[in-house]
């Protein structure tokens, strides 16, 4: 499982500012990051134990949940492995390699932690009596924040497969915000010479060779920030007060720029609308 701390270069910012408690600024940031990592681990553990945690109100959840869907064998598990570095994942050549829904943590370019949900692959010729139980495994997708639709672009029937996936998605009664914001991924581009996507919005990747992953993460981040009502802001804080610790706990701190002269710092954060409201109430300017 990937619970790597985000890029130290960004997080640790400048200087080694001495805080009144005797803990250095670097030590404090390290401790706060550890606490954050602990929180992510807990959230994942809960997801594992109880899939219906996905049903806790979308808006109140701390980590955006991204459902990775697509036709069987298109490379969903390989892609999640590449995005999260989760070595426990086992892609396989064959139908229905993934038989249960699992959750995996990853980071987007601005250090936003997200949870990717690996789902069971679609198949158009699914026997009739199985369709219902297959759809039941996808019930919880309705509670995710974003759907990533992976396609095996090298498959001779890729267009039919897309149509079949979209038709199942339509029948799942998903909220319209999910259907309208699907990120389409064209996978296995390494098998096609000089691949040019006919769909302008699709992101071309090779999950196996790691091509196009940064572009995909960027697109996922932009869409997730939009759909979850999060903001990227720079907030000036007094290092003697509790603001910085609060932001580490309740938001995603991206960058801390310390001004040793006056004991303040400019803190770049990703923060939800609701956490921002709380912050303004707790720490009025
Ligand atoms: N050449 C190539 N092969 C890939 C790529 N991504 C995945 N594969 C291969 O495609 C096969 C299926 O990959 P999986 O990740 O298991 O596919 P899946 O969508 O999770 O499959 P199910 O769980 O069965 O629905 C494996 O043999 C992968 O190695 C890619 O970008 N390029
Ligand atoms: Mg799989």
Cβ of 165 below 6 Å from ligand 1: no
H or E segment to which residue 118 belongs: strand 113-118
Q: Averaged over 233-245, what is the pLDDT?
A: 93
Integer Cα distance of 118 and 270 in angstroms? 25
**All residues at 6 or more sequence positions from 64 whose CB lies less than 8 Å from its CB, including other chains:** 112, 114, 115, 145, 146, 224, 228
Tell me which residue has its CA closest to atom 10 in ligand 1: 75
Residue 133 is predicted with a pLDDT of: 67
**All residues at 6 or more sequence positions from 100 whose CB lies less than 8 Å from its CB, including other chains:** 120
> Would you say residue 230 has pLDDT above 90?
no
Nearest bound ligand to the CA of residue 153: 1
182 DSSP assignment: P
| Residue ranges covered by each domain of the chain | 8-44+229-282, 50-227
Q: Averaged over 250-278, what is the pLDDT?
A: 90
**141 C-alpha vs ligand 1 centroid, how far in Å?**
21
H or E segment to which residue 147 belongs: strand 146-152
Cβ of 121 below 6 Å from ligand 1: yes
Residue 166 is predicted with a pLDDT of: 93
At CB < 8 A and 24+ separation, what contacts does 208-213 make?
A: 208/75, 208/78, 208/82, 210/82, 213/82, 213/83
> Would you say residue 225 has pLDDT above 60?
yes
Cβ of 100 below 6 Å from ligand 1: no
Q: pLDDT, tens digit, for every residue of 12-43?
A: 333 444 444 566 777 777 777 777 667 666 66
Tokens read off for 79: 């892609």
Q: pLDDT, tens digit, for every residue of 150-197?
A: 999 999 999 999 999 998 888 888 999 999 999 999 999 999 999 988
Which of these ranges, 72-76, 85-89, 168-172, has the smallest mean pLDDT?
A: 85-89
3-state secondary structure of 74: coil
What is the CATH T-level fold of the domain 50-227, as seen in this structure?
Rossmann fold (3.40.50)
Which of these ranges, 2-16, 41-55, 67-81, 216-230, has the smallest mean pLDDT?
A: 2-16
């Amino acid at each position: 499982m990937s619970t790597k701390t985000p890029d130290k270069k960004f997080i640790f910012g400048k200087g080694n500012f001495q805080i009144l408690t005797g803990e250095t600024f670097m030590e404090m940031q390290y401790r706060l990051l550890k606490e954050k990592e602990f929180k992510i681990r807990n959230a994942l553990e809960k997801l594992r134990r109880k899939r219906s945690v996905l049903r806790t109100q979308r808006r109140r959840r701390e980590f955006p949940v991204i459902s990775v869907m697509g036709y069987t064998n298109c490379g969903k598990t390989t892609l999640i492995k590449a995005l999260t570095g989760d070595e426990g994942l086992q892609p396989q050549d064959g139908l229905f390699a993934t038989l249960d829904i699992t959750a995996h943590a990853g980071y987007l370019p601005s250090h936003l932690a997200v949870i990717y949900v690996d789902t069971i692959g679609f198949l158009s010729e699914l026997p009739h009596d199985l369709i219902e139980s297959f759809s039941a495994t996808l019930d919880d997708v309705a509670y995710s924040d974003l759907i990533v639709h992976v396609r095996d672009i090298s498959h001779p029937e890729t267009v039919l497969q897309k149509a079949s996936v979209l038709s199942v998605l339509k029948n799942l009664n998903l909220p319209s915000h999910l259907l309208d914001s699907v990120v389409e991924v064209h996978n296995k581009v390494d098998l096609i010479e000089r691949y040019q996507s006919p769909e302008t919005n699709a992101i071309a990747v090779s999950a196996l060779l790691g091509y196009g992953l940064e572009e995909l993460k960027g697109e996922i981040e932009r869409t997730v920030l939009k759909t979850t009502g999060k903001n990227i802001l720079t907030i000036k804080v007094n290092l003697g007060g509790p603001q910085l610790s609060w932001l580490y706990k309740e938001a995603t701190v991206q960058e801390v720029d310390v001004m040793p002269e006056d004991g303040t710092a400019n803190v770049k954060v990703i923060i939800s609308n609701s956490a921002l409201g709380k912050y303004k109430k707790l720490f009025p300017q």
